[in-house]
Structure 1
Amino acid sequence: MTDASDATPDESAAPEHRGPIGRVGAIVVGALIVVTLVAVSFAFGRISTLGQADPTTVSAEAGFARDMQVHHLQGVDLALIIRETSDDPDIDRLAYDMATVQAQQAGQMYGWLEEWELPQAGSEPQMTWMTRPALAGAEGEHADHDASTHAPGDPMPGLATFDQVEALRAAEGVEAERIFFTLMIRHHEGALEMSEALLARSTHPIVTSLARAILESQAGEIALMTDLLDERGGPVEV
């Protein structure tokens, strides 16, 4: 697997500030706040796990860290593609934020595996961790994310295919923006499903903290992208 730290967008490419913060700016600020809170939670989480055994290579935590890295790094790629294509400043700002946050989180998960002395590539097919039963006593909506709808080696939920990514790369203007939002909404929905599945299978404070941060930030981005997509004519077949 590629070192996730290599995917961090160039800071020199950050979008310039353009007037009032607006709804996109609010999402960007909110996402950055979530990243900060995750960093703080990580520090406290390390203290709280000093007496706790590290996850094993076939654990939900390790599987989540490996698979969500792949998932996030595709999100970075999609965001960078639309930044090269669209001339809409709001989309530029939103895509930059998505690429930055997802690259940072992918790097964090890469670091977990290094700290746990686990290989970056697992010995099982991808998504195997999601086929295992939820923890006894899992509460609320997390308990619904059991093994019934997945099989080892299944595609990650929401992951775009090679042809879909190439369709985005080849498109221009509003068509490219519609393809991007169509793909990225699905992509975010898949990340929410994976995060919910992790919360049903783990009590590890560092990992569950990140999963909750993903749920919070990407749910807000889905709502925003849905509005922006509707303004451009709605989803496209891709």
Structure 2
Amino acid sequence: MSQAGPAPRGRRVTAVLAVLALAAGALLLARPLLGSGAPAAGGPEAGFARDMSTHHAQAVRMSFLVRDRTQDEPVRTLAFDIITTQQAQIGMMTAWLDAWRAPKADPAGPMRWMGGHAGHGAAAGAYSMPGMATPQQLRELQAASGRDAERLFLRLMIAHHRAGVEMARAVLARTEQAQVRRLAQTMVDGQRAEITLMESMLAARASGRSSR
């Protein structure tokens, strides 16, 4: 299996600058959250930041996997965009948790802040989160290549994004923190647009047509 080449230099430079800018912005945004109005360590804002960071980390992992298993430029571009966007958002949410002096993991398990998806202790693990690919599905993606890898990635990422949108909407209903609301709304808008794109890409592959 041939390995896909690196992203164009201009795209890499732009992505690095974007990540640095977002990281700097995250530190600035974190400052006002240190005051008495900072979210509680066990509140919905901290729960969202922890769980969405874990959720994003799997999306980044799957995007790296498919990027290296296909030569299809639209899929590689989508994967690159997910990697850079969600890594930057992880950096922002990590900065918030540091500012709030909140733990990076909830010992009682994930998703307690969202109510209906409450974790059942730490043993529940990240795979209890909605939309997460299972270890078996990740192994299948790692073993696939070409169109098979593309189709599996698109199916998994559509489900992953739908759950991410649900999580972002849940925190919008539970917080008045302006920074959290802005990021959550950005996630809703961005991931809904990517779902629409991925559904069209998947349909093209189901019918044997190229996305290009």
TMscore range, shorter length: 0.7 to 0.9
Q: In the alignment, which residue of structure 2 is the partner of 1:121?
A: 105
Where does residue 177 of structure 1 map in the other structure? 150
How far does the alpha carbon of each residue in 1:193-220 deviate from its partner, in whole angstroms, 9 at most, with x for none?
1001101111111111110010011110
Matching of residues 179-218 of structure 1 within 5 Å: 179-218=152-191
Counting only pairs closer than 5 Å after superposition, residues 133-144 of structure 1 correspond to structure 2 as none
Number of the residue aligned with 1:77: 61
Task: Confirm whether residue 14 of structure 1 aligns to residue 7 of structure 2.
Answer: yes
Report the alpha carbon displacement of residue 93 of structure 1 after superposing the two structures with TM.
Answer: 1.2
Q: Which residue of 2 aligns with 1:105?
A: 89
Structure 1 residues 169 and 50: alpha-carbon distance in aligned structure 2, compared to 1, 3 A threshold: closer
Contact 2:26 2:91 in 1 (8 A): no
| Paired position in structure 2 for 1:24 | none
Percent identity for Structure 1 against Structure 2: 39
Cα distance in 1, alignment partners of residues 203 and 133 from structure 2: 21
Q: Does 2:39 correspond to 1:55?
A: yes
Give, as a single letter, the amino acid of the residue that structure 2 aligns with 1:14: A
Structure 2: where are the runs of 5+ without partners? Answer: 208-212
Aligned residue number for residue 3 of structure 1: none
Counterpart-to-counterpart distance in 2, 1:217 and 1:52: 32
Q: How many corresponding residue pairs? A: 194
CA distance in 1, matches of 2:50, 2:57: 11
Pair 115,40 (structure 1): closer, same or farther in 2 beyond 3 Å: closer
Unaligned runs of 5+ in 1: 1-11, 19-28, 132-148
The structure in which a higher percent of residues are helix is 2
Match in the other structure for 1:150: 117
Q: 1:194 to 1:116 in 2, by over 3 A?
A: same
Instruction: Return the letter of the residue paired with 2:104.
Output: Q
Give the direction of change, closer, same or farther, for the CA distance of 1:229–1:17 in structure 2 (3 Å limit).
farther
State the shift of 1:223 in Å.
Answer: 0.3
Shift of 1:15: 3.8
Write the distance in 1 (CA, Å) between the matches of 2:40 and 2:34.
16
Using the alignment, how far apart are the partners of 2:105 and 2:64 within structure 1?
A: 25
1:122 match: secondary structure: coil
3-state SS of 2:175 partner? coil
CA distance in 1, matches of 2:117, 2:62: 25
Distance 1:211 1:94 in 2: 20
| TM-score when normalising by structure 2 | 0.80
| C-alpha separation in 2, matches of 1:210 and 1:109 | 9
Query: Cα deviations across residues 113-171 of structure 1 (Å, max 9, x unaligned)?
Result: 1111111122322100001xxxxxxxxxxxxxxxxx43333711111000001111101
The letter of the residue matching 2:83 is A
Mark the CA change 1:150 to 1:128 in structure 2 (over 3 Å): closer, same or farther: same
Task: Check whether the contact 1:61–1:198 (CA below 8 A) recurs between aligned residues.
Answer: yes
Structure 2 CA distance for partners of 1:38 and 1:107, relative to 1, 3 Å: closer
1:75 alignment partner AA: A
Using the size of structure 1 for normalisation, the TM-score is 0.72
Higher mean displacement: 108-117 or 179-188: 108-117
2-structure distance, mates of 1:47, 1:70: 23
